[in-house]
Every structure is written in structure tokens, then in C-alpha cells.
Homo-oligomer: A and B are copies of this chain.
């Protein structure tokens, strides 16, 4: 895709300083840009980049001052807010780049499932019976959708996503490659002879609107009822969400974190990477949990920071960490006290 400065300026309602016919085909950071790239400068502190950059076009704030002349190959587009304007461009670029329509063959789609208009179905996609798929849904190659799955509008499933039967996905949901939704929860009842009997997992997973899920993440179906991700949740890669878990609105979880069965995470919670959360607890709204923490009990007070395994308040944990690093020294001080005391008690 090639765009002229003129086209971009009209799109952003900006004014051009330089060559309106110069063309760009790529977006890049100002310090890494080459000829043919479009970039932006938002923070006046980095003004120096304006004189050094090899970009063909840079978007700047209306009030950006120039102390010397940029390279002759550089065209500026002045807009109200350079950062917002660039984000707008990024989004448009991404939408164009990821735009796909139509149906590729071979694909296997049961004819009792209805599929809305304007979507994309890639080759080697499998869609079971009795489902309902909304408008403008992009289903990339090698995706599996089981029986009776319901998917809202404008949702994207990247290559190789697997969705088991009976699950429900809302509107504007994005799921990245390799993620599994609706696999069996890990439920086994110990028997007297040391073996385990499978507890059938007959519930489902409900993914509400405006949710993004990373790659190779797993969300298990409920034993009965539903595992629920509420509106606006964002999950990173390689995350484990066990059966009957509930994630509150706008909760964000970083990579490799695991939430055990039946735990309920509140709204606007932030969990760092590699966090572990035991089963059957609650985590209050707006909790912020540091990477590698282990939450082994309910957190009932909202809007606090936590760290460590087992979890402590963020400040407490930091203070303990500091002493932990000097434990040999502390032990030596105690030994010295013992020696001194022994000596003095003797005398």
C-alpha cells in the first residue's frame, strides 16, 4: 500500500510542509525510519530526531517549532495531536492489512450453522452443526468451531484457534493462534484404589464483547454452568483459565499466569506474568498483582498492590525482600549478639 502526503494530510485534516506527492508504504519509529517510511514526533524533547530522521513523512504537532531545517527528503504534516493522529493511521493501516473477505476451499461447514454476511472463512476451517456466526467475522485457516457455538459480529479468530461445543463468543472478540476455548476442566474424583474417575465437564465458556485473547492460551469449560470472561477482558499468551473461573470487566492478565478453578477475579484487576491463583477464592476490583506472585487466599480490599508468593502487600513484600537478600548478615549479627551476651553473662 502506497500513500502520498496529500492523501494522509486529508485523512488527518493536517497541513503539509514539503512535497505533497511524496509516497510512503510503511510505518516506523522516527529513529529507525528509512526513506519511504511514515513516522511521528509527539514529545518536543525528541525534536533532534526531526533533523536526523530518514523518514519521508513525519507527523508533528501544530505548534512544533523548528530550530533548523530538516533533510530535504522530509515532508512534515502538522496536526492538532501527532500521537492521536498516528494511532488513527496505525488503526487504519491495520484494518486494511487484516481485511479479508470470502470463503476459501476446502473448508468443512455444517449447513445447520448460520453465518452472517461480509465475513472470511479460510481454508481447512471446520464448523460444526447448530451454531450461529455473526456479521463480518474473520475465521482464519485451520480454525475449529464445535457444535452449537455462537459468535457475535466483528470477531476475529486467528489460524488454528479451537473452540469446543456450546461456547459463546460476543462481538469484537479477537483470539490469537493456537488458543483453546472450552476444553474440559481438570476434574477427577479420587477412588479408593488410587485411580481417578473423570468428572464430566458439561458446562461451557462465555466470552463477552470487546475481549482479546493471546496465543496458545487455554480457557476450560465449566463443570456445570459457565466459565465467564466479562466485557473488555484482555489476556496475553500461554495463560491458564480453569473451569468455572470468572474474570471481571476490563481485567488484564499478562503471559503464563494461571487462575485455578472457580476463582472469581474482580473488575479492572491487573495480573502480572507467571502469577498463580489458587481455586475457590475472590480477588477484589482494581487489585494489581506483581509478576510471579502466588495468591493463596481471597483478596477482599479493592485497589491495592500485591506481590510475592505467598502474596503480601506490595510494600511489605518489598521490605521483606530487602532483608531476605541480607539474611546471612542478619544471622551473623545474631551470632555476634549471642557471643557477646555469653561472654558478658559469664563475667
Residues of A within 8 A of B (CB): 27-29, 32, 87, 90-91, 93-94, 97, 104, 106, 108, 122-124, 126, 140-142, 144, 146, 158-160, 162, 164-165, 174, 176-178, 180, 183-184, 186, 188, 194-196, 198-202, 210, 212, 214-218, 220, 224-225, 232, 234, 236-238, 240, 242, 249-250, 252, 254-256, 258, 260, 267-268, 273-274, 276, 278, 291-292, 294, 296, 309-310, 312, 316, 319-328, 330-331, 333-334, 337-338, 340-341, 344-345
Contact = CB atoms under 8 A, between A and B. Distances in A.
Contacts of A28: 224-225
Nearest to A343: B345
A330 B334 contact: yes
B195 A94 contact: no
B176 A183 contact: yes
B292 A309 contact: yes
Given A218-B214, A237-B240, A260-B273, A324 B334 contact: no
Given A224-B27, A345-B340, A160 B158 contact: no
Contacts of A164: 158, 177
B218 A218 contact: no
Nearest to A37: B224
Nearest to A307: B310
A273 B194 CA distance: 21
A8 to B, nearest CB: 16
If over half of A's interface residues share one DSSP class (helix, strand or loop), that class is named, otherwise mixed; here it is loop
Given A337-B338, A341-B340, A178 B216 contact: yes
A232 B196 contact: yes
24 contacts: A27-B224, A87-B200, A94-B200, A94-B202, A124-B126, A124-B142, A162-B177, A162-B178, A177-B180, A180-B216, A186-B236, A195-B232, A195-B250, A215-B220, A255-B258, A278-B291, A291-B294, A292-B309, A319-B327, A323-B330, A324-B327, A333-B334, A337-B337, A340-B345
B123 A126 contact: yes
